[in-house]
A and B are shown apart, each in its own frame.
Chain A
Amino acid sequence: MTRINRRTLVSASAVLVVAALTAATVPAHAAEVGVSSSEIKLGITLPMTGTASPGYNKVPGAMKAYFDYLNANGGVNGRSITLKVEDDRYVPTEAVAKTNKLILQDKVMALLAPLGTANNKAIAASVNPARRGVPVLFVNSGFSGFTDIKKYPTTYSILPSYVMEAKIMAEYIKDNFAGKSLGLLYQDDDFGSDALKGFTQAGITFAVKVPYSSGSQSGAGVGAGWITKLSAAKPDVVVLFGVSSATAVGLGTAAALKYAPQWILGSVGGDATTIKALGVPAGVIYNAVGASFAPATTDTADEYVKLFSDIYAKAVPGSAFDNNVLIGMNTAFVAAQALKAAGTNPTRKSLMAAIDSKGASFASAALIPLNYSKTSHVGYNGYWFGKYSPTGDLKPVDGKYVLYTTDSSSGAVVKSTWKRPAMPAKGLPN
C-alpha cells in the first residue's frame, strides 16, 4: 500500500508542477509589446500595503485619474493608456516577482515610476530591463546612481537626486541659518549616503548625526532614541532626511517630549498629508522648512494645480490633493508626452529616443526644467524652499518661489531664473 502512496505522491507532485508552470496562455504577438491599435499598457510596482505604503499608495490612483482624463479626451494618438498596478510591499523579492509579471505576463510596453532604491536595484539585477530593452520611465527614487546611463541605459530618473537636494538644502541653510548649530536624522543606506555626500560637498557640518535603518522606525522607543540623541547636542536646526514614516515618528516623538528645534524636512518625507495621516498634528510642522520642485498644492492660481486638483476630485472624491497626488499626476502627464513624441506607432526604442531628443522640452507642472538629452537621464535638478502653514500646507515664504538648481557632482548651486512655459491646452500632450 505504501508503495502506491509513494508513487502517487511523486506523480501528484510532478503533475502539480506541470500544471502550475503551464497554466499561462501567451497573448498574441503585437507590433510592439504592450502596444495595440487601441491601447498602450504601462506597469508600476510600489508598496500599496505595509509600513512603507502611506502616501505612496495614492500615486497609482493619481496616475490613473490623469490617464482616464487623457483617455476620455482621445488618448495618445487614438490609443488609451492602461496602467497595471502591482503591490511589492517594499520587498525586493516581491518587486522582482511583480516586475516579471508585468513584463512577461501582462506584456507592458514600459515600467512607469517603480518605487524604491533597493527594489529598483534588484529589478535591474534580476529582471534586467536594460537587456530586454524595456524602458523604465521616471523611477520614483532620488538615488543618483540611476542616472548612470552605462549601468542603467533604459532607466530615466525624474526626481532631483538626494545629492542635489542636500547641496541645495545646504545653500538654503547658509542663506537663512548662518552660524546656527545643526542636527541631522538620515536613513543609513544609499538614500542617506547620497544626502551626506551632498552636505559634505557643500561644506556643511552637523553637531549631531543620527542614522536609522529603513523599517526600524516603527519599533517601540526608536523615535525616543533619536530625539534623545538629537536634543543632547542642542542643535538650533534639525534636518529630517528620511521617509514619511520616519519623519512622522521623529516629529511625533519630539512633540511628545516637548522638543521643538527649527525643523527642515527633506522632500521624501515632507508630505504634510502623509505626516498628518500618520498621527502628527499639523501644529507640529507649523513653520518647519520644506522643499519641493512642484508648485504648492494649495496654490489654486497655478494652472496645473487647478486642472489636476479638479480632475482628481472627480476621479477620487474625498481624497486630499497632496504632493504625492500632484507628482503622480505630473509623472503621468510627462509619460503621456513621451508616448506622443514617440510617433504614431510607438515602440520601446522610439519612446526612449523621443525622451532623449525632446524630453527637455516636455511640458510639466514643476517649476524646474527637465534635463533629458542623449547623454543625460536626469529629470528635474532643483528645488524651492518654503514653510508649512498652520494647517500643514507647504507654501513659499512671502508667496514667492525662490528656485535653486545644481547637479549630482561638484557643480555649484545656482538660483534659477527659468520660467515655466504655459500649460498645453486642457493639460493634454502637445
Chain B
Amino acid sequence: MHKLSNKVRLAIFLLLGVAIYFLSGAVDELRVYQGATVAVYVVGIASIILLTGYSGQVSLGQGALLGVGGYAAALLRIHFSAPIWICFVFAILTAALAGVLLGLAAARLSGPYLAGTTLAFAVGLPSIANQFAFLGGEQGLLFDVGFPPLSFGEDFTQYKWFFWIASLAALIAMYWLQNVMRSRYGRSWKAVRGNDVAAELAGINLTRNKTLAFTLSAGLAGLAGALLAMTIGTVSPSAFPLALSFSLLTGAVIAGVTTLGGVMIGAVTLVAIPEIAGAVASRFGSSEAVTSNLPGLLVSTLLILTVLFVPNGPVEQLRAHREHRVHKKSS
C-alpha cells in the first residue's frame, strides 16, 4: 500500500491545527465546549483502537484507565501546583504504569477472559477511589487548570482555553500514534492480531508486544482522562463510570475499530447523539421518559447497524469499496 510521506502527514496535522484555531473563534461557546469534549473522546477512542484494532486485545475497562490519568493529574496539580502540561505528562505515565501491570496479566489472557478482567478493573477501581481520603471520596477532587493567559485578551473564554489544550493534545497524540503504527511495533501488533502463532513463529515476542500495546494504550487513556477532568473541573469516581468504558468502545466500533481514520466520526457521534435526541424529542413534544432514554436507544441502534452493515467502520468500508472498484477497472 502506498503511504503518505512523513512531511505530508505533518503538514496535514499542522493544517488541521490551524483550522481548529480559526474554528474556535468562529463558533459559539457551547460548540467550543463540545469541541473540547470531542477532542477528549478522540484520544479515548484512539486508545481503544490501538489496543483492540491493532493489537487484537479487548478492554472493557478503558474508563478506569481514564480515571487513573484524571486522578494523577489532579493530585499533582493540587499538591505540587505543577504546570498543566506536566500534569498531563504525569497522567500519561501513571496510567501507562497501570497499563503495564494490567498488560502483564492481559498478555496471558484472551477473548472473554481478558474482557472479564478489564471489566472487573473498571468496576473495582472507582470503589477503591472511595476508600482513600486523599482521593476525595465520592465528591472527588478539584482539577483547576487556571484561567487562560491574559495576553489572549479578556474575551478569551475558559472553554476556548480547554478546547485549545484538548485539541492540541489530541493532534499530538494522533500524530504520534500514526507514527507508532508505521513503526516496527505497529507492524508486529498487526501480525499478532492476524495470527499470533504465525507471528510468534516469525520471531515476535507475544508477551512483550501485547504488554507494550496495553501500556501505550493506557497512556493515551490517561491523557484522555486528564483532559476529561480538565473540561469538568473535577475528578470523582462517578465521572468515570462503567458507562464511560462502554461509550468509548461504542465510539470505537462506530469509528471502525481497525482504522484510526474514523476516530473523529466516533467522537462526534458520542457528543452529537444526545443533542440530536434532544432536538428530536423536543420537536415531537415527547415525554421526559422518552427524552431521557432516546440517546441510549439511538447509540445502541447505531452500534447494531454498524456491526451488521459496516463491521469495520464506515471509513474502512469506503476504502474497501474504492479498492474493489479500482480492481474491477484494472481487470
B130 within 8 A of A: yes
Q: Are B28 and A121 in contact (CB under 8 A)?
A: no
Neighbour of A6 across the interface among B4, B31, B130, B234, CB < 8 A: B4
Which chain B residue has the least Cβ–Cβ distance from A119? B238
Say whether A125 contacts B265, CB under 8 Å. no
- Please count how many residues in chain A sit with their CB below 8 Å of the partner chain's CB atoms: 57
A364: Cβ under 8 A from any B Cβ: no
Q: Which B residue sits closest to A131, measured CB to CB?
A: B158
B238: contacting residue among A2, A124, A214, CB under 8 A: A214
User: How far is B141's CA from A190's CA once the two chains are assembled, in angstroms?
Assistant: 12
A24:B238 contact, CB within 8 angstroms: no
Q: How far is the CA of A229 from the CA of B190 in the complex (A)?
A: 52
Q: List the B side residues contacting A90 at CB < 8 Å.
A: 238
A residues near B35, Cβ cutoff 8 Å: 17, 20-21
The answer to whether B234 and A122 touch across the interface, beta carbons within 8 angstroms, is: yes
Contact present for B237 and A215 (CB under 8 Å): yes
Q: Classify the interface of chain B: helix, strand, loop or mixed.
A: helix
Q: Which residue in chain B gives the minimum CB-CB distance to A215?
A: B238
| A96 to chain B: closest residue by CB | B232
**B76 in the interface, Cβ–Cβ < 8 Å?**
no
Q: Which chain B positions have C-beta within 8 A of A26?
A: 28
CB of B21, distance to nearest CB on chain A (Å): 13
* Chain B hits for A48, CB < 8 A: 288-289, 291-292
Partner of A8, one of B12, B237, B293, B318: B318
Instruction: Judge whether B200 is part of the interface by a CB distance below 8 angstroms.
Output: no
CB of A109 to closest CB in B, whole Å: 17
**Which B residues are CB-close (under 8 A) to A397?**
none
B2:A2 contact, CB within 8 angstroms: yes
Which residues of B lie under 8 Å from residue A121 when comparing CB positions?
139, 142, 234
Decide if B192 is an interface residue (CB 8 Å cutoff): no
Flag whether A303 is at the interface (Cβ < 8 A).
Answer: no
A192 to chain B, nearest CB (A): 9
The binding surface of chain A is classed by DSSP as helix
User: Which among A97-105, A244-252, A306-314, A339-347 touches the partner chain?
Assistant: A97-105
The interface residues of chain A lying within 8 Å CB-to-CB of B16 are: 10, 14
A10-B23 contact, Cβ under 8 Å, with A2-B2, A17-B38, A122-B239? no
The answer, yes or no, to whether A188 is at the interface (CB within 8 Å) is yes
| Residues of the A chain whose Cβ atoms lie less than 8 Å from the Cβ of B86 | none
Residues of B within 8 A of A (CB): 1-4, 12, 16, 19-20, 23, 26-35, 37-38, 126-127, 130, 137-140, 142-144, 158, 228, 231-234, 236-239, 241, 243-244, 261-265, 268, 271-272, 274-275, 278, 288-289, 291-293, 315, 318-319, 322-323, 326
**Additional A-B contact list (13), CB under 8 Å, known A16-B265, A23-B31, A126-B232:** A13-B261, A17-B264, A22-B31, A24-B31, A49-B292, A92-B238, A93-B244, A97-B37, A104-B29, A118-B138, A118-B238, A187-B138, A213-B130
